[in-house]
Chains A and B, each alone.
Chain A
């Protein structure tokens, strides 16, 4: 029931994001979506690719520090209020979100990726509220 994410450390230095993309491109890996958390002197690039296992290997070979994390993916309609409804459900259930980002799938639906502290509990709550959880079938488990 999870979406696997690859995160890499970015030193605050020109060219690091480009290096990341080059590493994926050289191994013919496609980026589905990514987001960057930036602080004053470093960044964390989080990405979903079409082959995370391969991505982790090529990124490590290219000298990146890599971590693999499972996120909760929820599909919503790509229209005003689509995300607001999901968030108010989570808010009412007292779920604390560490970060989230999104992308629009080829079928026109929006995919929201959540990092939450207690993922199993959150899945239960989302199921009870009939939210559509997407399982990409790849996970670190």
Chain B
């Protein structure tokens, strides 16, 4: 089963011709409409006419997250604001968000990606898709939502939270496809048992899980406990959101929608492209996007590509699971968190010590964030309530800065390791590779 067989099973040479045609077009569009790209290309004396096919992509300059921050909010849009019909945003280090604008065509392209992903997971137009990703500025919920509608299946836009109600609706509406984070899927399985449900009460066949790192062990746990096929999906809001790549039922790497997003793997040391199969940083060029086309965008995700033909018949290049980040960004319950955001909240509080340590763990299959802060003379009091007030205020300030709740733990002064070089600020106890 394919959603778009003509594209998904296109021969590699036809695909290359399509990619070439689209690359030539997008390079011309960004050069004409985005100041930053014109400046970057002018600086290396590269003209749009120098890009004749996808083989010339290596001549183009990279784009990094900082470029998006520098152009906050709309500086990198390649169309007039009136053509933008939707905005999404994700957190960035400076407290400012990374803003992404979508035209009508962009939303249609994104929905197409997720419709293809749903079919890869086994959905049909008869399916009922339970979307438990958060709806909002975060792309997870709305991405899968429009993908389901594009497929012609029934979407249940339940969003996140209220697990008891989720279970009731999953049962009563007979959802066969579940979309959420993998840790929430395990949590749902546990709550099912607690609430006295049996697997027979549900009609689930597959789940599409993403927005956070997860292991093969977690996949086995989910598949055994929910008796479903657990499918891995990849995306980032800068490119479009979930659906940039997704596994098929063979579960042997995620098919990149490479008619829309051209992937490269580069060396983080030399920034030179690496041959297919080698591990390095994943880079994408959006070939059709109108709102905010990105040229050779460095995702900071480390993985490898795989171009061996897939038994499912799709011809797209696949990406293997992301095994690490090349920056210090943490993904906690699907939300991007940078240690520098935490640092800036601490620095803005006159009572807080700037010495901190971040501990990320997975407790009962949910990500938990703990921020250890050193006690200081300025903060200390002989009264508990004074210290508790400080902790509560800091926890509130953190939550509004990083959009994830954090437990604040006060530790002894000078107990956090001082380092002369790059401070080791993070202990991530979640198993990633």
Report how far A66 CA is from B411 CA in the complex, Å. 14
- Chain B minimum-CB-distance residue to A7: B382
Report how far A14 CA is from B415 CA in the complex, Å. 14
Known A9-B375, A11-B375, A65-B375; contact A44-B415, beta-carbon cutoff 8 A: no
User: Which of chain B's residues have a CB closer than 8 A to the CB of A9?
Assistant: 375, 380, 410, 412-413
Encoded as 1 (CB less than 8 Å from any B CB) or 0, chain A from 55 to 85 comes to 0000000011111010000000000000000
Q: Give which listed residue, A41, A44, A98, contacts B409 with CB less than 8 A.
A: A41
Question: Is there a chain A Cβ closer than 8 Å to B376's Cβ?
Answer: yes
User: Which of chain B's residues have a CB closer than 8 A to the CB of A11?
Assistant: 375, 410-412, 415
User: Which of chain A's residues have a CB closer than 8 A to the CB of B380?
Assistant: 7, 9, 65-67
User: Which of chain A's residues have a CB closer than 8 A to the CB of B375?
Assistant: 9, 11, 42, 65
Q: B215: shortest Cβ distance to chain A, in Å?
A: 30
Question: Is there a chain B Cβ closer than 8 Å to A39's Cβ?
Answer: yes
Which one of B110-118, B243-251, B383-391 is at the A interface? B383-391
Report how far A63 CA is from B376 CA in the complex, Å. 11
B residues near A (Cβ < 8 Å) are: 375-377, 380-385, 387-388, 409-415
Q: B268: shortest Cβ distance to chain A, in Å?
A: 38
Asked if B412 and A44 sit within 8 Å, CB to CB, the answer is no
Q: Which of B381, B384, B388 has the most CB of A within 10 A?
A: B384
- Chain B minimum-CB-distance residue to A68: B382
Q: For chain B, what secondary structure do more than half of its interface residues adopt (helix, strand, loop), or is it mixed?
A: loop
A residues near B (Cβ < 8 Å) are: 5, 7, 9, 11, 13, 16, 37, 39, 41-42, 44, 46, 63-67, 69, 98-99, 115
Report how far A63 CA is from B374 CA in the complex, Å. 12
Asked if A42 and B387 sit within 8 Å, CB to CB, the answer is yes
Asked if A39 and B384 sit within 8 Å, CB to CB, the answer is yes
Asked if B387 and A63 sit within 8 Å, CB to CB, the answer is no
Report how far A41 CA is from B382 CA in the complex, Å. 16
Q: Give which listed residue, A37, A63, A99, A115, contacts B412 with CB less than 8 A.
A: A63
User: Which of chain A's residues have a CB closer than 8 A to the CB of B377?
Assistant: 65-67
Asked if B382 and A69 sit within 8 Å, CB to CB, the answer is yes
Asked if B414 and A63 sit within 8 Å, CB to CB, the answer is yes
5 further A-B pairs in the complex, CB-CB below 8 A; given A44-B387, A65-B376, A65-B413: A7-B381, A11-B411, A42-B387, A42-B410, A67-B382
Asked if B415 and A99 sit within 8 Å, CB to CB, the answer is no
Q: Which of A42, A67, A115 has the most CB of B within 10 A?
A: A42
User: Which of chain B's residues have a CB closer than 8 A to the CB of A115?
Assistant: 382-383
Asked if B413 and A46 sit within 8 Å, CB to CB, the answer is no
Known A9-B375, A44-B387; contact A67-B413, beta-carbon cutoff 8 A: no
Q: B100: shortest Cβ distance to chain A, in Å?
A: 39
Known A9-B375, A42-B387, A44-B387; contact A67-B412, beta-carbon cutoff 8 A: no
Q: B353: shortest Cβ distance to chain A, in Å?
A: 10
Report how far A63 CA is from B414 CA in the complex, Å. 7
13 sample A-B contacts, Cβ–Cβ < 8 Å, listed by A number? A7-B381, A9-B410, A11-B410, A11-B411, A39-B384, A42-B387, A44-B381, A44-B382, A64-B412, A65-B377, A67-B380, A67-B382, A115-B383
Report how far A9 CA is from B381 CA in the complex, Å. 8
Q: B416: shortest Cβ distance to chain A, in Å?
A: 11
Asked if A39 and B376 sit within 8 Å, CB to CB, the answer is no
- Chain B minimum-CB-distance residue to A43: B384
Q: B140: shortest Cβ distance to chain A, in Å?
A: 32
User: Which of chain A's residues have a CB closer than 8 A to the CB of B376?
Assistant: 65
User: Which of chain B's residues have a CB closer than 8 A to the CB of A13?
Assistant: 412
Asked if A99 and B411 sit within 8 Å, CB to CB, the answer is no
Asked if B382 and A63 sit within 8 Å, CB to CB, the answer is no
Report how far A65 CA is from B388 CA in the complex, Å. 16
Report how far A13 CA is from B415 CA in the complex, Å. 12
Q: A73: shortest Cβ distance to chain B, in Å?
A: 15
Report how far A51 CA is from B235 CA in the complex, Å. 64
User: Which of chain B's residues have a CB closer than 8 A to the CB of A66?
Assistant: 377, 380
User: Which of chain B's residues have a CB closer than 8 A to the CB of A67?
Assistant: 377, 380-382
Report how far A44 CA is from B375 CA in the complex, Å. 12
Q: A135: shortest Cβ distance to chain B, in Å?
A: 20
Q: A17: shortest Cβ distance to chain B, in Å?
A: 13
Asked if A39 and B388 sit within 8 Å, CB to CB, the answer is yes
3 pairs of A and B residues whose beta carbons are closest in the complex: A7-B382, A11-B412, A65-B380
User: Which of chain B's residues have a CB closer than 8 A to the CB of A64?
Assistant: 412-413
Q: A36: shortest Cβ distance to chain B, in Å?
A: 11
User: Which of chain A's residues have a CB closer than 8 A to the CB of B410?
Assistant: 9, 11, 41-42
User: Which of chain A's residues have a CB closer than 8 A to the CB of B387?
Assistant: 42, 44
User: Which of chain A's residues have a CB closer than 8 A to the CB of B381?
Assistant: 7, 44, 67
Report how far A93 CA is from B158 CA in the complex, Å. 56
Asked if B412 and A5 sit within 8 Å, CB to CB, the answer is no
Report how far A99 CA is from B384 CA in the complex, Å. 10
